[in-house]
Amino acid sequence: MALLLCLSLTVALARGCLHCHSNFSDKFNFYRDHVNLKSWWVGDIPVSGSLLTDWSQDTMNELHLAIPAEITREKLDQVANAVYQKMDVLYQGKMYFPGYFPNELRNIFREQVRLIQNAIIESRIDCQRHCGVFQYQTISCSNCTDSHVVCFGYNCESSAQWEMAVQGLLRYINIWHKQNTKTSLVSPSFTCLEPPNLANLTLEDASECLMQH
């Protein structure tokens, strides 16, 4: 179980993805400092202020992903710049009718959550389209440190390739296992790694399968 937990990484202490972007503080400090003259209705100001203050935390709460929030730097840049662009357009307007400004903020927020979810899931699916153990560099949304996602791709073209992929997985798990427990896994036959169980096998499934022996 420890192996499985490690391979699936941890989602604890989530803090938000956009806030890992280098321009986030500058941009959002500016947005917070300039909410005052954005609405004719004074009640809109505190509402808008707290939407901006809680942006990162609310993002993590809304992601609802079963996989860790790990995003590639390239996709983070894309999402962040799309959000700043929408915000900048909104801030170019002078003063809005009651309710309009916080409502637009909520729309941008929701769109941002969707973009981040897609970015995280797309990278993970691309990763699984390889044959064998594959990894790619990411930024962890929970603490903004460089991280990486490891996945097991089942997209092999021949049974020979598949065998090599499984061997690679066993080596990977053995190395991990030795580093952490100083013992090695024995490898009997793995029915769970044979067709037809391969169609949607993930690295997590594969490691769970191996741990059952």
- Helices within 36-158 (DSSP H only): 44-53, 55-63, 73-92, 100-128
Return the residue matching tokens 């941002």.
112
Is the CB of 45 or the CB of 198 nearer to ligand NAG? 198
Is the CB of 30 or the CB of 40 nearer to ligand NAG? 30
Which residue has the CB atom at the shortest distance from ligand NAG?
Answer: 140
Is the CB of 44 or the CB of 170 nearer to ligand NAG? 170
* Residues β-bridged to residue 96: 39
Q: How far is the CB of 79 from ligand NAG (least distance, A)?
A: 11
Which positions lie near ligand NAG, rule CB under 6 A? 9-10, 22-23, 68, 77, 81, 140, 142-143, 145, 147, 197, 199-201, 205
Q: Are 112 and 83 in contact (CB under 8 A)?
A: yes
Q: How far is the CB of 106 from ligand NAG (least distance, A)?
A: 24
Q: Are 49 and 108 in contact (CB under 8 A)?
A: no
Q: How far is the CB of 146 from ligand NAG (least distance, A)?
A: 9
Straight-line distance from the first to the last Cα atom of the chain, in angstroms, rounded to the nearest whole number = 12
Is the CB of 23 or the CB of 161 nearer to ligand NAG? 23
**CB within 8 A of 115, min separation 6: which ones?**
78, 79, 82, 83
Q: How far is the CB of 44 from ligand NAG (least distance, A)?
A: 28
